[in-house]
Amino acid sequence: IKSRTSVPGICVPLGEKAAQLLEQHTLLKPQNIEPVLWVWYYRITLLSLHFPERITIDLGLHYVTPHKQAAWQNMCILEVKQNSANRHSVIIDALKQLHIHPKSLSKYCTGVAITYPQLKYNQFKSKLLQIEKIEHLYAPTAIAGASGN
């Protein structure tokens, strides 16, 4: 279950509204935590007029830590959100026809894995390799080279 609040921006230390949210919904104390990763991306949300589902497309993922930055410019994360699993979703059927199959991914966990290389990330290694393959395959120079330009 997610709990959210609107804040004007990232505050270090946490602002009053964010600190209250943290104390209300966790056992954590705001003074005992510190930011380690910022995740930025653009989101497109599409709503179905005929089915109880929506689609989010996250583009231009960019990770920032106090010591490193990383970005995924050539891939997107598409998520189909439904009230219950619907095996007859038009978007899921279209993706399957394109040989795009569901995968689980945490933007936060993969962001930590690529920006904190000193941490063990074996659990995420296969996902990171898939992402690198997509990034390389769809890089502007790879596309220009593939078309003969």
21-59 confidence digits (pLDDT tens): 889 999 999 889 888 899 999 999 999 888 788 899 999
Closest CA to 130 of 94, 93, 105: 105
How far is it, in rounded angstroms, from Cα 64 to Cα 112? 10
76 pLDDT more than 60: yes
- CB of 89 closer than 8 Å to CB of 97: no
What does pTM read for this prediction?
0.75
Residue type, 43: R
pLDDT band at 61, cuts 50/70/90? very high
Instruction: List phi, psi (to 5°) of 60.
Output: 60, 45
The pLDDT of residue 57 is: 95
Residue type, 120: K
- CB of 123 closer than 8 Å to CB of 129: no
How far is it, in rounded angstroms, from Cα 104 to Cα 135? 18
> In the chain, count of helices (H) and strands (E)?
5, 3
- CB of 131 closer than 8 Å to CB of 75: yes
The pLDDT of residue 13 is: 79
